[in-house]
Amino acid sequence: MLGTLCTLITVLSCFCTGVYIICITVVFGQGTKLAVTDSSLAVPTLSLLPPSSEELRTDKATLVCLVQMPVWFADVSWTSNGSPVTGGVFTSAAEQKPDKTFGLSSFLTIKSSEWMSDRVFTCKVSVGSKESEKSLKKSDCSE
| pLDDT class of 21 with cuts at 50, 70, 90 | very low
Same-domain pairing of 65 and 135: yes
Domain match, 62 and 110 both: yes
Say if residue 63 is in the same domain as residue 119: yes
Residue 106 lies in a domain: yes
Residue 40 is assigned to a structural domain of this protein: no
Q: How many domains does the chain have?
A: 2
Partnered with residue 6 across adjacent β-strands are 23
Q: Environment class of residue 66 by beta-carbon count within 10 Å: exposed (0-12), middle (13-18) or buried (19+)? A: middle
Q: Does 80 map to a domain?
A: yes
Choose among 56, 69, 57, 55: nearest CA to 106: 69
Q: For 39-76, what is each residue's pLDDT tens digit?
A: 677 889 999 999 999 999 999 999 999 999 988 888 99
Whether 50 maps to a domain, the answer reads yes
Do 87 and 136 belong to one domain? yes
pTM score: 0.74
Its domain, for residue 10, covers 5-35
Residues 84, 27: one domain? no
Give pLDDT tens digits for 75-130: 999 999 999 998 999 999 999 999 988 999 999 999 999 999 999 999 999 987 88
The CATH number covering residue 75 comes to: 2.60.40.10
What residues contact 48, with CB distance under 8 A and at least 6 apart? 63, 64, 65, 66, 121, 123, 134, 135, 136
115 and 50 inside one domain? yes
- Same domain for 58 and 27: no
